Structure 1
Amino acid sequence: MNSRNIFANATIAGSLAAALAMIAAPASAAPKPPQPTMDKCYGIALKGDNDCAAGAGTTCAGTASADYQGNAWKYVAKGTCDTIKTPKGMGSLEPIKS
């Protein structure tokens, strides 16, 4: 194999590795855009299924480290948050202190 082929193969391998890294990264790392017909409901999201951060332990969408984490929120239909029951209590329009 000559040096030109080695360089071309290395370039292709590097491009493939970069593409795979982008695919493997969380697709929803940014906050979900505002939803005018929805409320932010704290304490109802499952691990890794929050719509954005609300404090320590989360950085943004999909980063809740535990089920029903009190400082992670998820969008729900307006007026329904405090009717959502979880094993830890009810949903809240404000962060839930643990």
Structure 2
Amino acid sequence: MTTRIQSALPAFALAAALGSALAMGASPVQAQEKGAAQEKCYGVSLAGKNDCAAGPGTTCAGTSKTDHQANAWKHVPAGTCTKTESKTSPTGYGQLAAFKPKAAKAG
């Protein structure tokens, strides 16, 4: 029984060390995102990836039904929204407020 514990101990230590290293690698990015100024950007999130406000029939985060949904927003670094591509926006870029999507081109 002692042999099993002794052979499992190095594997556990390796897993713990690897997990700690991965967690430390993610922390600076999360801290930077939380500390940096953010703005709500409409029309840039993918389906189910919005942060909130996805219109009628949805509740909040992760409930947008389509990519680039005009009334669904995602937090982005301040100053980048209107430079981020949006396939539904009349300007072709994200908007700082919900908008009416441009008409789809007939095929």
Considering the TM-score relative to the shorter chain, is it more than 0.5?
yes
Match for residue 96 of structure 2 among 71, 85, 93:
93
Letter of the 1:91 counterpart? G
1:53 and 1:35 map into 2 onto residues whose CA distance is 23
In structure 1, what residue type is equivalent to 2:82? D
Q: Does 1:44 align with 2:44?
A: yes
**Matched length:** 65
In the superposition, the TM-score normalised over structure 2's length comes to 0.54
Q: 1:11-22 maps to which residues of 2 (within 5 A)?
A: none
**Would you say the 8 A contact 2:70–2:100 is kept in 1?**
yes
In the aligned structure 1, how far is the partner of 2:77 from the partner of 2:62? 19
Q: What is the identity, as a one-letter code, of the residue corresponding to 2:62? A: G
Shift of the 76–82 alpha-carbon distance from structure 1 to 2, 3 Å rule, reads same
Deviation at 1:53, TM superposition (A): 1.3
Partner of 1:58: 58
- Measure the CA separation in 1 of the matches of 2:82 and 2:57: 23
2:39–2:75: 8 Å Cα contact kept in structure 1?
Answer: yes
Q: Shift of residue 56 of structure 1?
A: 1.7
Relative to 1, partners in 2 of residues 1:62 and 1:78: Cα closer, same or farther, differing over 3 Å?
same
Distance 2:83 2:94 in 1: 7
Q: SS of the counterpart of 2:82? A: helix
Shift of 1:66: 0.4
| Structure 1, unpaired ranges of 5+ | 1-33
The structural deviation recorded for 1:57 is 4.1
Detail structure 1 runs of 4+ shifted over 3 Å in the superposition: none
Q: For structure 2, list consecutive stretches of 5 or more residues without a partner in the other structure.
A: 1-33, 102-107
Identity of aligned residues (%): 51
Give me the TM-score of the superposition, normalised by structure 1: 0.59
